[in-house]
Structure 1
Amino acid sequence: MSGKQIKLFLVDGTPGGLTTAEITNWTGHVLSASRSDLADLVKRDEAQRTGAYILLGDDEAAVGNTRCYIGEADIVADRLRYHQRDKDFWDRVVVITSKDTNLTKAHGRYLESRLILLATRAGRVTLENNTAPLVPALPEADASDMDYFVSQLQIVLPVLGVNAIRVPLPKSSSRLPTEATESPIFRLRHIKLGVDAQAQQIDGEFTVLAGSLVVASWHGIGKADSTMKA
């Protein structure tokens, strides 16, 4: 994959506050904010456009400790004001629009459907969506443009700490493994517990490989507080 230049702007100068994200030569625009900053977010021009949004909230009982709702709207700000009243779980929102304001209602619905599909496939969060809308029919050229739009979101959202649609990249069979590109395979064995696992760093994440034997739940208490967080 070629390099990407991502521009982040901290609107209030505070990490974790209102943040914009863009990729050079990409028409998309991403705006991230905490729920406490919603009043400032809905005043911005981006929030008056057609687009999609992602609501995120911490929940220890959820997959990946995160609950997530994905939606779309003609005017995103109006929908977020509604969710301020009808959904309690979220504490962070990501707004996805276009810098050239060319996204239509059909584009927004296409984007919503594709994001829900990817989030379901990734399995990193508990989705709050009760339904998975079908991908609406778009002209071939528009569908191609929106698929590219989504592919750029898969790059920029993890930079903002949002991994809901981060599907592991398939390993290319044509690429020859080299020491520079392939992580070594790590092995962990614990005969008493029946653990025999292998793991490798793939796409920037430590991934347990297929065929590994592990225990179903954590047993015992670590000597350090960091043990359970590892």
Structure 2
Amino acid sequence: MMTNRTLMLYFPDTDHATSLRIFQDPTSQIRGFYFTKSQLSKVETLDYANNHAVYFLFSETEESSVYIGQSVNGIKRIKSHLRDKDFWQFGILLVTDNNSFDKLSIDYLEYYFIQAFSKTQYSLENQDLRTVVPNVNMFNLSTLSSFASQIQFLLEAMGISFKPSISIEEKSQADEVFLARSPHQASIRLQDGKYILQANSLIKAPLDRTKGWSDGGNFYQRSRRRYDQFIESGKAIKVDEKSAKLIDDVEFNSPSTPAVLCSGHSQNGWLFWEGLDEKRKKGI
């Protein structure tokens, strides 16, 4: 059944309307702040931005990824991520304008959305995937579930998709399939400007020799975390100690990230997928 909802938008700085906005359902006390990294200091000066919060840091460069966190002092917590998390380009902070979120609320909401995003096309940047449900009684659970539903609507209104996988109908509309070069067993297809790594493709843990690269092991650690999260979230099942098979299609923003995932080391995605570079050069 189709339902209608209204969303209010406020722009604190019209010169930066695309990078800083406040949004709220007029029937709810939950208030959202959308901001790019460059606007972070301005958010701190806005009303209610330092309340108890759950927040989301997004990257949509080569791979769509998200970090989900909680904060008892709102936007101030996110400032620390400028030092230790540089992957994100924009963030969304959710508070209540009467500060009715308490520590239990934001703890549960962090858990809830880590589980929710683990089933989507987003890769999780969280190292702790929160597999244990917070201890919440039945009365609080009803309220917190309502909060979670409202927040999901607000995120979707800001363009964040919770779509779990690619449908059969969408597959039938896709462009041709590109196979990984031998000996790798994987394939991608192009769809709506995205690169879809297809179900049954084999993904690999990063090669041990990448631990000694000049980046101080960053490539290995990040690739290992991504590989492990695919298995822990149920998006892939282990074949052996070094490889796993995808259960569902996974969407990427460039061809190189799925190439890295399927090979275990750095790759030029245009060359890794047979015929893809030729297609690009022809401008098709």
- Distance between the aligned counterparts of 1:187 and 1:81, measured in 2? 43
In the alignment, structure 1 residue 101 sits paired with structure 2 residue 99: yes
Residue matched to 2:202: none
Q: Is the 8 A contact 1:10 1:17 kept in 2?
A: no
Say yes or no: does 1:52 pair with 2:108.
Answer: no
Cα distance in 2 between the residues matched to 1:78 and 1:184: 41
Contact 2:57/2:88 (<8 A) preserved:
yes
The match for 1:114 among 107, 112, 137 is 112
**What is the aligned partner in structure 1 of residue 29 from structure 2?**
27
State the SS of the aligned residue for 2:48: helix
Q: Show the counterpart of 1:129.
A: 126
- Aligned mates of 2:6, 2:88 — CA distance in 1: 30
Q: 1:225 to 1:85 in 2, by over 3 A?
A: farther
Aligned mates of 2:10, 2:283 — CA distance in 1:
32
Superposed displacement of residue 97, structure 1: 0.8
Q: How far apart are residue 94 of structure 1 and its match?
A: 0.7
Structure 1 residues without counterparts, runs of 5 or longer: 170-182, 194-209, 211-215
| Residue deviations 1:42-82 (CA, integer Å, cap 9, x gap) | 2223221111111112331xxxx222111001112221121
Q: Deviation digits for residues 68-113 of structure 1, max 9, x if unmatched?
A: 1110011122211211221111121110111221100110000000
CA distance in 2, matches of 1:226, 1:156: 37
Is the alpha carbon distance of 1:147 and 1:187 closer, same or farther for their aligned partners in structure 2, counting shifts above 3 Å? Answer: same
Residue pair 2:119, 2:164 contacting (<8 A) in 1 also:
no
- Which residue of the partner structure matches residue 207 of structure 2? none
| Aligned residue runs from structure 1 range 148-227, under 5 A | 148-163=146-161, 166-168=162-164, 219-220=275-276, 221-222=278-279, 227=284
Query: Is residue 80 of structure 1 aligned with residue 81 of structure 2?
Result: no
Task: Please state which structure has a larger fraction of its residues in helix.
Answer: 2
Report if the CA contact (8 A) 2:20-2:39 is conserved: yes
| Structure 2 alignment gaps of length 5 or more | 180-198, 200-261, 263-272
Deviations 1:15-51 (CA, angstroms, capped at 9, x unpaired): 4221111113122111110000011012223221111
Q: Aligned pairs, how many? A: 193
* Counterpart residue type for residue 155 of structure 2: L
Q: Give the AA of the match of 1:27.
A: Q
1:100 & 1:149 partners in 2: Cα distance? 14
Compared with structure 1, are the counterparts of its residues 90 and 225 closer, same or farther at alpha carbon in structure 2 (3 Å cutoff)? farther
Other-structure match for 1:196: none
* Cα gap change, 1:185 to 1:75, in 2 (>3 Å): closer
Distance 1:127 1:184 in 2: 24
The answer to whether the 8 A contact 2:33-2:93 is kept is: yes
User: Structure 1: how far apart are the matches of 2:37 and 2:66?
Assistant: 14
Is the contact made by 1:109 and 1:135 (CA closer than 8 Å) also made in structure 2?
no
Please state whether the residue corresponding to 2:59 is helix, strand or coil.
strand
Residues of 2 paired with 1:82 and 1:30: CA distance? 20
Q: Which one-letter code corresponds to 2:5 in the other structure?
A: K
Alpha-carbon distance between aligned partners in 2 of 1:218 and 1:155, rounded to the nearest angstrom: 40
TM-score between the two structures when normalised by the length of structure 2: 0.58
Q: Per the alignment, do residues 187 and 115 of structure 1 end up closer, same or farther by CA in structure 2, a change over 3 Å counting? A: closer
* Equivalent position amino acid for 1:36 in 2: S
Question: Secondary structure, in 3 states, of the residue corresponding to 1:70?
Answer: strand
Number of the residue aligned with 1:201: none
Letter in 1 for 2:275: H
Take 2:122 and 2:114, find their aligned partners in 1: how far apart are those partners?
11
SS in 1 for 2:80: helix
Residues 55 and 68 of structure 1 are in contact (CA less than 8 Å); yes or no, is this contact kept in structure 2? yes
C-alpha distance in 2, partners of 1:31/1:69?
16
